[in-house]
Structure 1
Amino acid sequence: MNNFFAAMQSTASPTLSDLRRSLAEAALRTGPAATGKVGLGAAEIDATLSGGLERAALHEVYAAGAADLAAATGFALGLALRAAQGEAARGERSILWVRQDFVDAETGRLHAPGLNELGLDPARLLLVRARDAEGVLRAGAEGARCPALGAVLIEPWGEPRAFDLTASRRLALAAEGSGVTALLLRVAAAEAPSAARTRWQVRPLVSRALEANAPGNPAFGLRLLRHRGGVAECEWRVEWNRDRCTFENRTAFDRSDRLFPRRTDASPLSRPLVPLSGDGQAAAAGPDSGLRRAG
């Protein structure tokens, strides 16, 4: 815990070589990366996704608005924890979190006791703060290439010029090559074309009190916006069980009770998207669109 706070409060900026050295040390302590899919634990979602999310891939998580960043962060961290779980031979691996300084200024710094309440031992967290989005993307790409990690969480602010289709393709290829799950957390940003395998929108739900009126589990409203395998847009309500490190479906609800406004800018995908070529260009792709989030 103390080491975690020291890393957060240090005035010295770590260099890319420092990160590479830390990742190399982690690689010496671990075996090969896992394969297969990352199940969320919620049966309905995993069934829809044919077992879960592709592990060796890039996935995007959007906050529905700036006020929803905490919920989006909690969901992304839950995915990272699920990805970092492993067989006995692998053990639980470290998570690299790369965050732009501006996010700290706008929303506040990460809170170690809060992360611990979600189930993340701060000793497993490698935290890198970068001055700009370009630094975030460079550090995120370094992490995505390291098979010793359980997951990489990349958090730039807004819509930086440095993040384009080519940059996302670079992250996706790094994740595919190493087997690491890369999660791109977006806030104050509109949907844009990317090489992400899935795209999610998240907003908070009211928790349900436990016995003796104890605080309930964190609850999330999820919308699957895009799936490169052709899964149509879906919505779910889930809770995070930190003791089991799993998402759980909430009690069935009226499907007409939508969590998000109806979308008129895109239709469900009936087949897989056209794959990107090696130079990051798509053979045929229409731009995604969406309402700009307030920042």
Structure 2
Amino acid sequence: MGVLDRLILRDEQWERISHHIIGDERTRGSSGRDNRMFVEAVLWIVRTGSPWRDLPEVFGEWNSVFRRFSRWSRKGIWWRMFAAMSDDPDFEYLIVDSTIIRAHQHAAGGKKGAEDQALGRSRGGLSTKIHMAVRGLGCPVRFRLTAGQKGDAPQADALIEGLPADIVMADTAYDSDRQGLPADIVMADTAYDSDRLRNAIADKGAVAVIPNNPSRAQKYPLDKHLYAQRHLIECCFSRLKQFRRVATRFEKTAENYLAIITIAAIVLWIR
């Protein structure tokens, strides 16, 4: 089976995202040349986790593909595509959570140091943490990166910012700045249980669905039937990690790794 036999995008999927890509076959120069094959090349890297140098020749010269991928990352093109694909106001609630990603040793050495590139060091080695908000049907709508040792709750504010919700649920939890996530409910686990976050949610006219920390003196009621839906974010993380370049971080910069996650999230939305 050849490489071209395992391309990811079907014609109708490419049609959905192609309108949000800069340049086309009429564009002067090479910026609009072979857009579909370029996107497939990046998807091949994201899916297989292979080094850029191992990109099959059928996709073109690997360094040209990598430089174009990085350029699109800086310009926010991947995020623009994701925002268009995930612009679905018809969901009931959000679920907030995080997952730790082991970073390969090749991810070290980015400019401005590890902390600025969302890399943390511990006895387990280098790691990055993905903080994410997922819609009620299990598709990602907002995510941030931090160093692996960072706490979850401090990132929750950014994940629910601008949320005109009625209910918010939280789990034990770099930003895509998406504004106005319409939802009726937001979920999260015990790690998000704090009066500060509960009050922030209440100030938005929302209700927090968060389990009580065992040490809490004042207990809050919990809708266990509703909270059971929190497994959807675990399923979303599992689907994202099927893309090997997401499951292990190889990118030196947080910007490029965030782009990798965004590309995988686009695929989840258009499947």
Normalised by the length of structure 2, the TM-score is 0.27
Whichever structure has more helix as a proportion of its residues is: 2
Larger radius of gyration: 2
Normalised by the length of structure 1, the TM-score is 0.25
